[in-house]
């Protein structure tokens, strides 16, 4: 992660960085069976607590629930590949199996919704929030498929991300920004990349990339409350 400061703007960005592929960082769930196992309220709590190796007995104690009930859900999560065996530990005269969550955090692939998944091509108003949300789902779907393919081949996946925060004080300022940004992007793409299609409409050589740039208003989150404040 690098930060560049230009006047009053700070641009944190990752330049063709390798996407996180460590199983304990982030996992994309594209299977409906696994998604159903993940979304059970109690199982979400179990996965949250199992970020470090824990047994069903330990999890039950922390949740205030009987071990048998927690163990049922632990086994279901293990069958779905969301909990992994993490060794055994002796406790008194018993040997307890410990488990650890397959990832620190999870995302659900848009494909899980099948024909109900958002499609930006079906949204007429390209300036609407609905269009932006649908386009964001396309990005998540594209990256998820490419990421899973790269993981299967045990290869890194190169990506480019840019995030910045700023303000507009008028519609005129916002429109001027959009016009200047559009011109700059067209120039950069023309000078630093190859055409996506040949003259006959067939795919050109090279690996295809998709650039999606969005600009949207957001509601700022309140600062975290300090302990004892």
Strands (E), 7-72: 9-18, 26-29, 54-55
| Residue matched to tokens 């590949």 | 81
Distance CA 12, CA 4 (A): 7
Mean pLDDT calculated for residue range 86-99: 82
Reported as type and span, the H/E element at residue 145 is: helix 129-152
How many domains, in total, are found in the chain?
2
Structure tokens at 156: 């890194």
Q: Based on the domain organization, do 57 and 121 belong to the same domain?
A: no
**The predicted structure's pLDDT at residue 151:** 86
Residue 1 or 16, more confident: 1
Structure tokens at 176: 């001027």
Residues 17 and 35 both lie in one domain: no
What pTM did the predictor assign? 0.75
Q: What is the mean pLDDT of the chain?
A: 87
Record the tokens describing residue 110, joined without a space.
């848009």
- Reply yes or no on whether the pLDDT at 219 is more than 90: no
pLDDT band at 22 (very low <50, low <70, confident <90, very high): very low
> How many other C-beta atoms can be found within 10 angstroms of the C-beta atom of residue 75?
14
- CA distance linking residue 74 with residue 46, whole number of Å: 8
Which 8-state DSSP code applies to residue 109?
-
The pLDDT assigned to 7 comes to 46
Confidence class for position 9, pLDDT limits 50, 70, 90: low
| Whether 113 and 182 share a structural domain | yes
The pairing of beta strand 9-18 with beta strand 2-6: antiparallel
In a domain, 57, yes or no: yes
Out of 79, 105, 131, pick the residue that ends a domain.
Answer: 105
| 100/118 same-domain check | no
Burial class (CB in 10 A: 0-12, 13-18, 19+), 140: middle
Q: Is residue 205 included in any domain, yes or no?
A: no
User: 220 falls in which pLDDT band (50, 70, 90)?
Assistant: confident
- pLDDT of amino acid 87: 85
* Domain range for 46: 31-105
* 121 and 49 co-located in one domain: no
Beta pairing class for 105-108 and 26-29: parallel
Q: What average pLDDT does the segment 110-136 reach?
A: 95
Q: What is the mean pLDDT of residues 204-221?
A: 90
Does 158 reside within a domain? yes
Domain shared by 78 and 46, yes or no: yes
Residue 20, pLDDT score: 34
| Domain assignment of residue 127, yes or no | yes
What is the C-alpha to C-alpha distance for residues 49 and 151, in angstroms, rounded to an integer? 26
Determine the Cα–Cα distance for residues 171 and 174; give it in Å rounded to an integer. Answer: 5
Residue 227 confidence (pLDDT) above 90: no
Is 91 inside any structural domain?
yes
């Amino acid at each position: 992660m690098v930060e560049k400061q230009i006047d009053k703007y700070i641009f944190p960005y990752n330049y063709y960085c390798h996407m996180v592929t460590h199983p304990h960082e982030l996992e994309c769930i594209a299977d409906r069976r696994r998604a159903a196992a993940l979304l059970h309220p109690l199982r979400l709590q179990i996965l949250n607590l199992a970020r470090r190796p824990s047994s069903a007995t330990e999890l039950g104690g922390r949740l205030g629930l009987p071990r048998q009930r927690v163990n049922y859900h632990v086994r279901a999560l293990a069958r779905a590949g969301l909990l992994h065996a993490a060794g055994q530990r002796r406790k008194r005269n018993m040997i307890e199996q410990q488990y650890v969550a397959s990832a620190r955090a999870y995302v659900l692939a848009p494909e899980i919704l099948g024909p109900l998944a958002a499609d930006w091509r079906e949204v007429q108003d390209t300036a609407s929030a609905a269009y932006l949300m649908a386009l964001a789902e396309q990005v998540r779907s594209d990256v998820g498929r490419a990421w899973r393919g790269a993981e299967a081949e045990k290869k890194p996946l190169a990506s480019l991300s840019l995030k910045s925060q700023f303000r507009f004080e008028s519609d005129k300022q916002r429109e001027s920004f959009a016009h200047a940004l559009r011109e700059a992007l067209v120039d950069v793409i023309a000078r630093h990349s190859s055409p996506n299609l040949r003259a006959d409409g067939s795919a050109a050589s090279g690996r295809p990339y998709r650039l999606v740039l969005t600009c949207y208003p957001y509601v700022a989150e309140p600062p975290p409350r300090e302990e004892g404040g």
